Amino acid sequence: MDLIVETFFNLDVLREMYPFLLDGLWMTLQLCIVIVPCGIVAGLCVAILFSFRFRPLSWLVIVYVDFFRSFPPLVLLIFIYYGLPFVGVDIPDFAAVVLALTLNTSSYYGEIFRAGIESIPRGQWEAARSTGLGFLQTMRYVIVPQAARNVAPDLTSNTLEVIKVTSLASVVAMPELLRLARVAQGLTYNPTPLIAAAAIYFVLLWPLVRLLSRMERRMIAGR
Amino acid sequence: MDKKSPILDVQGLRKSFGGLEVLKGIDLAVHPQELVFIIGPSGSGKSTLLRCCNRLEEATSGSIWVDGVDVLSRSTDINRLRQRIGMVFQSFNLYPHMTALGNVTLALRKVLKLKRDEADRRGRAALDDVGLRDKVDAYPYQLSGGQQQRVAIARALALEPKIMLFDEPTSALDPELVGGVLNVMRAMRKSGMTMVVVSHEMRFAREAADRVIFMDQGEIVEEGRPAEIFGNAKHQRTRTFLQNVLAG
Amino acid sequence: MDQIVANFFDLEVMARYLPDILSGFVLTIYLAVAIVLFGLALGLALAVVRAFQIRPLNWLIVFFVDLFRALPPLVIMIIFYFALPYVGVELGGFVAAWLALGFVLAAFAEEIYWAGILSVDKGQWEAARSTGLPFFRTLRSVVLPQALRLTIPPLTNRTIAITKGTALASVVAVPEILSQATAAQAFAANTSPLTMGAIAYLILFAPLVTLSRWIETRFAWRR
Ligand SMILES: Nc1ncnc2c1ncn2[C@@H]1O[C@H](COP(=O)(O)OP(=O)(O)OP(=O)(O)O)[C@@H](O)[C@H]1O
Ligand SMILES: [Mg+2]
């Protein structure tokens, strides 16, 4: 028992290393603050392009979505991070991570919004257009408000996934929470920083998980 | 009425949901081959009474005996007892992923542990009894409401119960489908089944019931032969209820 | 243009490292199958136990589910691989990746199965119990078959998303596709192996993503 406490919950190590973890947390938050909105906006664009119901465009959108859903995000990240410099494109690390994870997540957000828009019956479009509302007005005042309710659980779920996926940035030496926890582990020869990082993630994300399982249950019960 | 011991014997049955007392001391004895009809306004506790009899609902106090077995005793094997108490629901509750025959034979195979062909034989016979010989392989969604309810009756009948409880078996049916279900119930009565029926089919009650019980607010207000209850009920509450039902 | 071809599609480099990528491909499939079998089975077992509604057990299950939904899979994997050895538990990379992703899948699957069980009409339970079927038999023969059908689309999506996490195993020294590809890239000082890796993932997951799209329409929540 003592061994376990000494090893995984070592307060001395924690006291020494917590500034590291806080730095990492801050970087993780920065990544989230940039990637989540980028992903949502890109996803909305994808869904709106789809809803024009112009066949070739719809196909392109589906290909885009399925293409990026087929790659593990880590593969995409490594490809962009190591690949771009080879062709002379030099972008900052932060931008490379944001680009890779946004491409990945925009396909998920796009699919969610697309399904949400699809879930609104045709009659709603026709009713709105018949009163003289334009395409974007119909979208904004009639379709999106209804779709938003339907997609809230999936949206929350995907946002949770995006936040978790920022941990992949540690693989390309981005100093976010997991990366700095590993560095701290290396410096102290003790895994307490890893456990602490896990605890931080849990405290951060647990409310979201609770909220989500409630929403999902209500969704299914409503059918 | 003969003096044989009752098949269903309910005494002093009380049932509360939280603070709400839904059954306030029910005494009811149903004798072999009797058809007892229970009527009463919505929320009077009719369904709850039936559901206590096979312990889908746990009674708060009182005693219930079915065919000489103490329903409420902890030592009673409730699953064995339930086979002897058939139950038919307002909403049929057929298993949507099984054929009519599958619905009827599930308990035969899994509870009575009958071999498949023996179970099928009994299942077919039960479906035959309710006039659905040609629907054995149909899935519930391929059947009309009336046919579904008859399958549900066959599902209970196949277990050869001592008593059948019906909770508004025709309330969810279109008017033209009610007759088929009532015919099946008539035939069951003729063959000597003991039945307790909660229903608003007053014409059927008048014609087929041995006894009609009027319940209101968790109590039995009065009971008697159909002619008595429908002709000249003693209590004002009963008369008001009947007026409303027969008018609407 | 030439530069791109030389760096991303160098056929000679590709031919040289094809065997490595292939062996990574096979290993990825092993790992994925192991994760899916373990995760779906454990998730179902947990959901069934949860149906018995035994208080302390339920709390444990909910805690397990919330924990593995909230933590990034990479964090879990790294703890299994880098932290457990401090107390003498040496799992090895493959087992660490397998257990980490298996637990994550089990957590998500439990939640989905459980929602499915809850969504089956109460009348089904009552009808079955009224014919004398015991609790477990009712669950098995009446409720689960209906619940499982409802869970197919969300479960497929979730399973695919989590099996893509096999790429994370590269971080814990499992020679699957991505780690073979990055190793080869470093040796060859050329990005073509990464291209091959990306193509390998596309071959593996694009059909699954398409399949899930089909399942979505085929088994859409309907009753
Ligand atoms: N599970 C439950 N929890 C709480 N209250 C309940 C429950 N089941 C029934 N009740 C309440 O018990 C009372 C009697 O219900 P019951 O279903 O037995 O009435 P009923 O006579 O069958 O009515 P109806 O003709 O509408 O079917 C009602 O007030 C109802 O709201
Ligand atoms: Mg009722």
Q: Please give, one letter per residue, the 3-state secondary structure of A169-214.
A: HHHHCCCCHHHHHHHHHHHHCCCHHHHHHHHHHHHHHHHHHHHHHH
pLDDT of residue A58: 87
The answer, yes or no, to whether residue C186 has pLDDT greater than 90, is: no
Binding partners of C (≥3 Cβ pairs within 8 A)? A, B
Q: Which domain range does residue C171 map to?
A: 26-177
The answer, yes or no, to whether residue C1 has pLDDT greater than 90, is: no
Q: Among residues of chain A, what percentage have pLDDT more than 90?
A: 41
Strands ordered across the beta sheet of B211-216: B85-88, B163-167, B194-198, B35-39, B211-216, B219-224
* Structural domain includes residue C113: yes
pLDDT of residue C222: 41
Report the C-alpha gap between B5 and A217 in whole angstroms: 49
How many CA atoms does the CB half-sphere of B197 hold within 13 Å? 29
CB-based contact A67:A110 (threshold 8 Å): no
Question: 3-state SS of chain C: helix, strand, coil percent to 5?
Answer: 85, 0, 15
Task: Give distance in angstroms: CA of B42 to centre of ligand 1.
Answer: 8
Q: Among residues of chain B, what percentage have pLDDT more than 70?
A: 98
Query: pLDDT tens digits, residue range A114-140?
Result: 888 888 888 888 888 887 787 888 888
Out of B19-28, C34-43, C96-105, C211-220, which region has the weakest mean confidence (pLDDT)? C211-220
B246 burial via Cβ count (<10 Å: 0-12, 13-18, 19+): exposed
CB-based contact B78:B55 (threshold 8 Å): yes
Residues of B in contact with C146 (CB under 8 A): 95-97
Report how many helices (DSSP H) and strands (DSSP E) chain C contains, helices first.
10, 0
Report the C-alpha gap between C31 and C18 in whole angstroms: 20
| pLDDT, average across residues B130-154 | 95
CB-based contact B2:B31 (threshold 8 Å): yes
CB-based contact A161:A108 (threshold 8 Å): yes
- Output the six-digit token pair for C45: 């077992």
Those residues whose beta carbon sits under 5 angstroms from the ion ligand 2 are B 47
* Structural domain includes residue C214: no
Q: How confident is the model at residue B2 (pLDDT cuts 50, 70, 90)?
A: very low
3-state secondary structure of B114: coil
The answer, yes or no, to whether residue C223 has pLDDT greater than 70, is: no
Interface check C139 vs A, CB under 8 A: no
Calculate how close chain C gets to B50, using CA atoms only, in Å.
Answer: 11
The answer, yes or no, to whether residue C220 has pLDDT greater than 90, is: no
What rounded mean pLDDT belongs to chain C? 91
Among B42, B56, B199, B215, residue to substitute to test ligand 1 (most atoms within 8 Å of Cβ) = B42
Calculate how close chain B gets to C58, using CA atoms only, in Å.
Answer: 23
| pLDDT, average across residues B106-115 | 91
Q: How confident is the model at residue B1 (pLDDT cuts 50, 70, 90)?
A: very low
The answer, yes or no, to whether residue A203 has pLDDT greater than 60, is: yes
Report the C-alpha gap between A131 and B178 in whole angstroms: 46
Distances (CA, A) of C31 to A58, A167, C40, C96, C171: 35, 21, 14, 11, 14
Q: C-alpha A97: how far from its chain's center? A: 12
* Structural domain includes residue C103: yes
> Which residue in the block uniquely carries the two structure tokens 């779906």?
C40
| pLDDT, average across residues B56-63 | 94
Residues of B in contact with C141 (CB under 8 A): 106, 110
B121 burial via Cβ count (<10 Å: 0-12, 13-18, 19+): middle
Out of B97-106, B126-135, B176-185, C10-19, which region has the weakest mean confidence (pLDDT)? C10-19
Contact between chains at A213 and C111 (C-beta distance less than 8 A): yes
Put simply, whether the predicted model's pTM sits higher than 0.80 gets the answer yes
Report the C-alpha gap between C188 and A89 in whole angstroms: 20
- Which ligand 1 atom lies nearest to the CA of residue B41? 25
Task: Give distance in angstroms: CA of C140 to centre of ligand 2.
Answer: 28
The answer, yes or no, to whether residue A71 has pLDDT greater than 70, is: yes
ipTM for the complex shown: 0.89
Residues of C in contact with A171 (CB under 8 A): 74, 171
Report the C-alpha gap between C35 and C47 in whole angstroms: 18
Query: pLDDT tens digits, residue range C88-139?
Result: 888 999 999 999 999 999 999 999 999 999 989 999 999 999 999 999 999 9
Which CATH topology does A2-222 take? Answer: MetI-like fold (1.10.3720)
Q: How far apart are the first and last CA of chain A?
A: 49
Report the largest interatomic distance among the alpha carbons of chain B, rounded to a whole angstrom. 56
* Structural domain includes residue C185: no
Task: Give distance in angstroms: CA of B123 to centre of ligand 2.
Answer: 28
Contact between chains at C119 and A71 (C-beta distance less than 8 A): no
pLDDT of residue A221: 59
Residue C68 sits in a domain of what CATH number?
A: 1.10.3720.10
Chain B / chain C CB contacts < 8 angstroms: 66
Q: How confident is the model at residue B248 (pLDDT cuts 50, 70, 90)?
A: low
Report the C-alpha gap between C115 and B178 in whole angstroms: 36
Phi/psi of residue B89, nearest 5 degrees: -105, 155
Query: pLDDT tens digits, residue range A164-174?
Result: 999 999 998 88
- Which ligand 1 atom lies nearest to the CA of residue B45? 18
| pLDDT, average across residues B109-118 | 92
Letter string b/e over residues A111-126, b meaning 16 or more CB atoms within 10 A of that residue's CB: bbbbebbeebeeeebe
How many domains, chain C?
Answer: 1
CB-based contact A24:A180 (threshold 8 Å): yes
Query: pLDDT tens digits, residue range B143-188?
Result: 999 999 999 999 999 999 999 999 999 999 999 999 999 999 999 9
The answer, yes or no, to whether residue B117 has pLDDT greater than 60, is: yes
The answer, yes or no, to whether residue B136 has pLDDT greater than 60, is: yes
pLDDT of residue C221: 47
* Structural domain includes residue C171: yes
The answer, yes or no, to whether residue A39 has pLDDT greater than 50, is: yes
Contact between chains at B87 and C130 (C-beta distance less than 8 A): yes
3-state secondary structure of B218: coil
Q: Among residues of chain A, what percentage have pLDDT more than 70?
A: 98
pLDDT of residue A10: 84
